[in-house]
């Protein structure tokens, strides 16, 4: 169970921790985005860096780098993803921004197990340690919805929800997430966005905090 939760938490971090800058760019305008994120559950935590480009506000291409603090995945992991926006908030009155995405990741996981075995003469016992390395490839399909609901002084608030299906050689699983993006554009500069969110998969809850810049 611990190994499965680690795997699913990794994929949540790779795909969801990197927001798509197109959620904050109007249709017809292109822009770039980047930032960093932190995610944690009851077993481990990880840090994320991401960068992306939005073409005309309806097609995003993103690249995420994720590194765990502890756990079985020791090396950093790169994950590309693409998001296409079916509907933008400005398309119709009260319409949410709806996006569909696909992401891919391939990485190696190392697990060490210890087994107590009897020695050859049968009068004693000793521990046998074995390290197993597994290569995992996974694809995630997701859908997200967000809507800018209100303003307070120089800040805007944009609630968001998302769901996805994660497919790998070990099986598939559903993911759910929800959060609120808080953003502000200071003195005509780039848009600064802070997004706290909660995500759940395979019975494991994770807290995710991202900070992004969109220009």
pLDDT digits (tens, 9 = 90+) for 184-214: 987 878 999 999 998 887 677 888 889 999 9
Provide the CATH number for the domain formed by 2-105+135-214 in this structure.
2.40.160
**What percent of the chain lies above the pLDDT cut of 70?**
78
Helix intervals (H) in the chain? 2-16
Contact status, residue 82 vs residue 61, Cβ threshold 8 Å: yes
- pLDDT value at residue 117: 66
Q: Does the pTM of the predicted model rise above 0.85?
A: no
Q: Which residues contact 119 (CB under 8 A, 6 or more apart)?
A: 125, 126
Confidence band, pLDDT 50/70/90 cuts, at residue 13:
very low
φ and ψ of 169, to 5 deg? -65, -25
Q: What pLDDT, on a 0 to 100 scale, did the predictor assign at position 196?
A: 92
pLDDT at position 121 is: 62
The full set of domain ranges for the chain reads: 2-105+135-214
**47 neighbors 205 (Cβ within 8 angstroms):** no
Residue 168 buriedness (CB in 10 A; 0-12 / 13-18 / 19+): middle
**Terminal-residue alpha carbon distance, the chain:** 42
Average pLDDT over residues 172-182: 88
State the residue for tokens 């949410």. Answer: 96
Alpha carbons 207 and 195: distance in angstroms, whole number: 11
Tokens of 50: 């991401």
How far apart, in whole angstroms, are the C-alpha atoms of residue 158 and residue 125? Answer: 61
pLDDT number for residue 144: 92
* Mean predicted confidence (pLDDT) in 171-183: 87
Length of the chain: 215
Among candidates 21, 20, 37, 19, which has minimal Cα distance to 209?
37
68-92, pLDDT tens digit by residue?
775 566 677 888 999 999 999 888 8
Contacts of 161 (CB under 8 A, 6+ apart): 144, 145, 146, 176, 177, 178
pLDDT at 204: 75
The per-residue pLDDT for 181 is 93
Helix or strand (DSSP H, E) at 61: strand 59-69
Calculate the average pLDDT of the chain.
80
């Amino acid at each position: 169970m611990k190994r499965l939760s680690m795997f699913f938490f990794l994929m949540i971090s790779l795909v969801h921790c990197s927001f798509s800058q197109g959620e904050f760019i109007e249709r017809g305008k292109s822009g770039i985005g980047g930032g960093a994120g932190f995610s944690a559950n009851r077993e481990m935590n990880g840090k994320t860096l991401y960068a992306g480009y939005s073409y005309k506000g309806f097609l995003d291409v993103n690249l995420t780098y994720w590194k765990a603090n502890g756990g079985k995945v020791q090396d950093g992991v790169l994950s590309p993803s693409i998001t296409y926006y079916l509907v933008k908030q400005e398309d119709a009155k009260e319409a949410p921004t709806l996006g569909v995405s696909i992401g891919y990741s391939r990485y190696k996981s190392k697990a060490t197990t210890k087994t107590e075995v009897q020695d050859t003469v049968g009068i004693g016992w000793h521990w046998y340690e074995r390290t197993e390395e597994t290569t995992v490839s996974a694809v995630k399909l997701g859908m997200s919805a967000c809507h800018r609901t209100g303003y307070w002084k120089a800040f805007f608030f944009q609630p968001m929800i998302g769901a996805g299906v994660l497919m790998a050689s070990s099986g598939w699983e559903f993911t759910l997430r929800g959060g609120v993006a808080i953003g502000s554009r200071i003195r005509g500069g780039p848009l600064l966005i802070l997004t706290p969110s909660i995500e759940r998969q395979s019975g494991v809850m994770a807290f995710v905090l991202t900070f992004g810049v969109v220009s």
